Amino acid sequence: MQPLHFPYTKCSRKLTFFALLLLISLASPTSSCTEKEKGSLLQFLSDLSSDGGLAASWKQNGADCCEWEGVTCGEDGAVTDVSLALKGLEGRITPSLGNLAGLLRLNLSHNSLSGGLPLELVSSGSIIVLDVSFNRLRGDMQELPSSTPSRPLQVLNISSNLFTGRFPSSTTWEVMDNLVVLNASNNSFTGQIPDNFCSSSSLLAVVELCYNQFTGIIPPGLGNCSMLRVLKVGHNNLHGTLPNELFDASLLEYLSLPSNVLDGVLDGAQIIKLSNLVTLDLGGNNFSGKIPDSIGELERLEVLHLDYNNMSGELPSALSNCTNLVTINFKSNNLSGELSKVNFSTLPRLKTLDVLYNNFNGRVPESLYTCSNLTALRLSGNNLHGQLSPRIGNLKHLTFLSLAINSFTNITNALHILQRCTNLNTLLMGSSFRGELMPEDDFIDGFENLQVLSLNDCSLLGKIPLWISKLAKLEMLILSENQLTGSIPAWIEDLKHLFYLDISNNSLTGEIPTNLLDMQMLQSEKTTTSLDPRVFELPVYKGPSLQYRIPIAFAKVLDLSNNKLTGEIPPEIGQLKSLLSLNLSFNALRGQIPISVCNLRNLQILDFSNNNLTGAIPAALNSLYFLSAFNVSNNDLGGPIPFGGQFNTFQNSCFDGNPKLCGSILTHKCGPASTPPPTTMATKQTDYKAAFAIAFSAFFGVGVLYDQLVLSRFLR
Ligand SMILES: *[C@@H]1O[C@H](CO)[C@@H](O)[C@H](O)[C@H]1NC(C)=O
Ligand SMILES: *[C@@H]1O[C@H](CO)[C@@H](O)[C@H](O)[C@H]1NC(C)=O
Ligand SMILES: *[C@@H]1O[C@H](CO)[C@@H](O)[C@H](O)[C@H]1NC(C)=O
Ligand SMILES: *[C@@H]1O[C@H](CO)[C@@H](O)[C@H](O)[C@H]1NC(C)=O
Ligand SMILES: *[C@@H]1O[C@H](CO)[C@@H](O)[C@H](O)[C@H]1NC(C)=O
Ligand SMILES: *[C@@H]1O[C@H](CO)[C@@H](O)[C@H](O)[C@H]1NC(C)=O
Ligand SMILES: *[C@@H]1O[C@H](CO)[C@@H](O)[C@H](O)[C@H]1NC(C)=O
Ligand SMILES: *[C@@H]1O[C@H](CO)[C@@H](O)[C@H](O)[C@H]1NC(C)=O
Ligand SMILES: *[C@@H]1O[C@H](CO)[C@@H](O)[C@H](O)[C@H]1NC(C)=O
Ligand SMILES: *[C@@H]1O[C@H](CO)[C@@H](O)[C@H](O)[C@H]1NC(C)=O
Ligand SMILES: *[C@@H]1O[C@H](CO)[C@@H](O)[C@H](O)[C@H]1NC(C)=O
Ligand SMILES: *[C@@H]1O[C@H](CO)[C@@H](O)[C@H](O)[C@H]1NC(C)=O
């Protein structure tokens, strides 16, 4: 038998090959496209202003348009699919595609198509999936006349374009009675959310209308959408309460209405009807009242966002029954009582708990420490007290911890415990642990992944402790507003990643150590920081774009203000080329302003005020184009104020308290002997003003680190 085996296999292969040939020869004649269809496709191509090489590709593939890139035909040779996403297409979409009578699916997403969306496509008698998302289409969506027969369209994705005008709200949706998915997010539609989406059919499962300018209320008619699973209408201007009818859409899994002006209370009797909810996002509205007990019946709930509302009262203990919860965000409400109302040990999947800015009191519940997957915990801005439990060390995945603005005690204990959370990269403990001693013992170790440490405003006594020198990955260190004494340690330069150092408002003495001016991160020419935006498991910015975790990186900052530093400003200060903000104000520094300060080309903020500086203000400071805030008041400076550049924008008060200064903006005019040097900058005024405006807004776009408000003092 053995010798027969080989030829047999060979034979069967041949057979398969023949079968395949047969199949192809049967299929291909029927699937070659008609001249008319070919014409429609070529018309589409020729109406583009840039085809991204598509014409060449189609030419290469021969005369049968069914063989063309991105084109698929059915058995009868009619074009069924045109799939040309991400092809670099530019120009208008021609209505000729509407002539493809058998077209079922059209995908033109992620191109740079402009102009309007031809009505022929939206009202096509054949298309079931139309995706033109992520283009630059503009204009408004015309209403389909009621005389239009029922349309087959099931998926309409027109999101992320530049559409404007009133959103169709009447006959269109009656005609589109097969629609299952509608995505019109990220445009500039106005008007109301249609009340009649489901008046003639109820197949609609997904409605996404986020990031538009919709006004009016949440329409009660949505309650008739019995198949609705996803409703996302966040970031509009919707007002009013949640209509009771909405809760009839009992299949809803994803209800997301953030950043509107909705109000009213969460009606417990209604909310339990949505027993399929997985995500509930009502953040950034004006909801008030208590979180209803019945929330515990939402067993599938994974994500609960009620942040930035006006919710009050205690947490319902029934929340413990939502055992699938992964994310809880209650930040910025008026919730009160003890967190221990909730038994967190029944929430094993919990990854994020954010209760920033509420009125919670009592202790951190022990049950929280059983949530071993917890990665981000923000308890700041409450009235919590007590010592940290050793069990927090069990949270091995914890990367972000904020205990700031509370009344916790025993910082030594806290640090000893937290060093066991080896993944911690952000630790914010400011405005708590008040009046204690800065732990200085050598037992504090670990923290090998710590990138951000804030211990501001705790009135801590003691010195800048040596254990900080062991935090090899530290990038931001904030020890401001304590009562630290002693000198600035020389080891600070060993922190090779440190780019943000704020030790202001302490009682530090001695000279500015030259080691400080060897800080590597402040010397590189690059202004971009190395701080990985993903460091912050929770958003720490209160800026214009809250939806992003980090709009732009933190600025490079050196703030030594309000201490008792003496001696001269070392000329090596000119090495810190990437500094954006340098503040040495309110110390006892003397001597001249080193001319090397003029090398700090990226400076936006320079404050030397309230020292004992003498001599002249270096004239070349006028070449710091990005300087937007400058203050040398209350020193003993003399001579002419630099002229031109940003100096034309600074006010008198920036120079006050220096009787020997003279200049055109001061009452003390300079004599002929001290005419300021002419500057080439003055003529380029508009250029640098524009550059400055960009830099300025970039910097201030950073906003406020909300736990700490560390940057707020720059914003006064
Ligand atoms: C269209 O194509 C893009 C890119 O391939 C894809 O992400 C998208 O899901 C497609 N749209 C539809 C409706 O399938
Ligand atoms: C457009 O929406 C449809 C339906 O939700 C989706 O399948 C498709 O992926 C979306 N297109 C893009 C480019 O994301
Ligand atoms: C909104 O649309 C713009 C332009 O198409 C796009 O760059 C941006 O990523 C979109 N935003 C979202 C959240 O999809
Ligand atoms: C809807 O559009 C938005 C913006 O383009 C996009 O982020 C989202 O993923 C889309 N949703 C679906 C289901 O395609
Ligand atoms: C919902 O459907 C019912 C029955 O079809 C109808 O009477 C009612 O008017 C509809 N509600 C809205 C708000 O469209
Ligand atoms: C929020 O709702 C309260 C009533 O609970 C109302 O007095 C207040 O004006 C609303 N605020 C906004 C910004 O709509
Ligand atoms: C917050 O809700 C309370 C009632 O719980 C109401 O008296 C107060 O006006 C609301 N505050 C705002 C700012 O809407
Ligand atoms: C959680 O659910 C169980 C069973 O459904 C119920 O007996 C219990 O009262 C609920 N717990 C809370 C705190 O509501
Ligand atoms: C927060 O709630 C407390 C009662 O718990 C109340 O006294 C206080 O006025 C509320 N604050 C706001 C801003 O609504
Ligand atoms: C914890 O997280 C890991 C990894 O993300 C996951 O595999 C595991 O199921 C989670 N545990 C629980 C209880 O959710
Ligand atoms: C603070 O914590 C340390 C270390 O855990 C402990 O030895 C000390 O007794 C605590 N101090 C107070 C006042 O509880
Ligand atoms: C500044 O110097 C003068 C004398 O040179 C001295 O009297 C004064 O105390 C100094 N001020 C500060 C704040 O050090």
Is residue 133 scored above 60 in pLDDT?
yes
The values of phi and psi at residue 531, to 5°, are: -60, 115
Å from CA of 85 to ligand 1 middle: 7
Task: Give the number of whichever ligand sits closest to the CA of residue 254.
Answer: 4
| Closest atom of ligand 8 relative to the 293 alpha carbon | 14
Residue whose CA is closest, atom 4 of ligand 8? Answer: 321
**pLDDT confidence of residue 539:** 65
Q: Which atom of ligand 9 lies nearest, measured to the CA of 336?
A: 5
Cβ 155 under 6 angstroms from ligand 1:
yes
Q: Has this prediction a pTM greater than 0.85?
A: yes
Q: What residues flank ligand 6, with Cβ below 6 Å?
A: 261, 263, 286, 288
Ligand 1 within 6 A of 81 CB?
Answer: no
Name the fold adopted by 490-714. Answer: 3.80.10
Alpha-carbon Rg for the chain, nearest whole angstrom, is: 33
Smallest CA separation from ligand 5 atom 1, residue: 224
Strands (E) in 424-583, as ranges, are: 426-428, 452-454, 461-462, 476-478, 483-484, 500-502, 541-542, 557-559, 581-583
Q: Which residue has the higher pLDDT, 199 or 240?
A: 240
Give the tens place of pLDDT for each residue, 600-638. 998 999 999 999 999 999 999 999 988 989 999 999 999
CA of 84 to the centre of ligand 2 (A): 14
Question: How far, in Å, from the CA of 409 to the mean position of ligand 11?
Answer: 9
- Residue 699's pLDDT is 32
Q: What is the pLDDT of residues 649-690, one digit of tens each?
A: 898 889 999 999 998 777 778 876 554 443 333 333 333 333
What DSSP string describes 685-714?
Answer: HHHHHHHHHHHHHHHHTT-EETTT-TTGGG
Q: How far is the CA of 199 from the centre of ligand 5 (A)?
A: 6
Cβ atoms within 10 Å of 693's Cβ, excluding its own: 11
In the reported structure, the alpha carbon of residue 157 is separated from the centroid of ligand 2 by a whole-number distance in angstroms of 6
Report pLDDT for 681: 36
Distance 158 CA to ligand 6 centre (A): 34
Ligand 4: residues with CB < 6 A are 133, 157, 159-160, 183, 185-186, 206, 208
The arithmetic mean of pLDDT across residues 265-272, rounded, is: 96
Q: Which atom of ligand 3 is nearest to the CA of 160?
A: 2
Q: How far is the CA of 592 from the centre of ligand 12 (A)?
A: 14
What confidence score (pLDDT) does residue 432 get? 93
Closest protein CA for atom 14 of ligand 4: 183
Say which ligand is closest to the CA of 223. 5
Q: Is the pLDDT of residue 697 over 70?
A: no
CA gap 412, 424 in Å, rounded: 17
Instruction: Give the residue whose CA is nearest to atom 8 of ligand 11.
Output: 413
Query: Ligand 4 mean position to 209 CA, how many Å?
Result: 9
Q: What percentage of the chain reaches a pLDDT higher than 90?
A: 73
Q: How far apart are CA 35 and CA 78, in angstroms?
A: 11
The Cα angle at residue 443 between residues 441 and 445, in degrees rounded to 5 = 115
User: Which ligand sits nearest to residue 202's alpha carbon?
Assistant: 5
Phi, psi for 599 (deg, rounded to 5) = -80, -10
Q: What is the rounded distance in angstroms from the CA atom of residue 164 to the CA atom of residue 325?
A: 38
244 vs 557: which has the higher pLDDT: 244
Q: Where are the domains of the chain?
A: 490-714
Nearest protein CA to atom 12 of ligand 11, as residue: 410
For residue 35, give the amino acid letter. Answer: E
Residue nearest to atom 3 of ligand 8 (CA): 321
180 within ligand 1 shell (Cβ under 6 A): no
Give me the mean pLDDT over the 413-429 stretch. Answer: 93
- Higher pLDDT: 514 or 687? It is 514
Residues with CB under 6 A from ligand 3: 134, 160, 186
What is the structure's pLDDT at 709?
Answer: 35
Q: Quote the ligand 7 centre to 359 CA distance (angstroms).
A: 15
The band of 544, judged by pLDDT with boundaries at 50, 70 and 90, is very low
CB-count exposure of residue 197 (10 Å: 0-12, 13-18, 19+) = buried
Name the token pair of 164: 């404007």
Name residues whose C-beta falls within 8 Å of residue 713's C-beta, 6 or more positions apart in sequence.
Answer: none
Amino acid 445: pLDDT:
84
Ligand 10 centroid from CA 645, angstroms = 57
Atom index in ligand 10 nearest the CA of residue 373 equals 1
Output the CA 431–ligand 11 centroid distance in Å.
19
> Does residue 181 line the site of ligand 2, with CB under 6 A?
yes
Residue 193 Cα to ligand 5 middle (Å):
16
Atom of ligand 7 nearest to the CA of 289: 5
CA–CA distance, 199 with 182 (Å, rounded to integer): 15
For the CA of 310, the closest atom of ligand 9 is: 14
Interval between CA 231 and ligand 4 midpoint (Å)? 12
pLDDT tens per residue, range 1-52: 333 333 333 334 443 444 443 344 344 445 678 889 999 999 999 999 999 9
**Residue minimizing CA distance to atom 1 of ligand 6:** 286
**Ligand 2 center–CA 181 separation, angstroms:** 9
> Residue 526: its pLDDT value, please?
63
Is-contact 576 517, C-beta < 8 A?
Answer: yes
- pLDDT (0 to 100) of residue 531: 58
d(CA 215, CA 437): 55
The response to whether residue 265 sits with its C-beta less than 6 Å from ligand 1 reads no
Does 270 contact ligand 11 (Cβ within 6 A)?
no
- Atom 10 of ligand 6, nearest CA residue: 286
Is 413 touching ligand 11 by the criterion CB < 6 Å? yes
Please state, as a whole number, how many other Cβ atoms lie within 10 Å of the Cβ of residue 545.
13
313 CA → ligand 9 middle, Å: 9
Q: Is the distance from CB of 326 to CB of 301 less than 8 angstroms?
A: no
Which residues, in sequence order, are bridge partners of residue 107? 83, 131
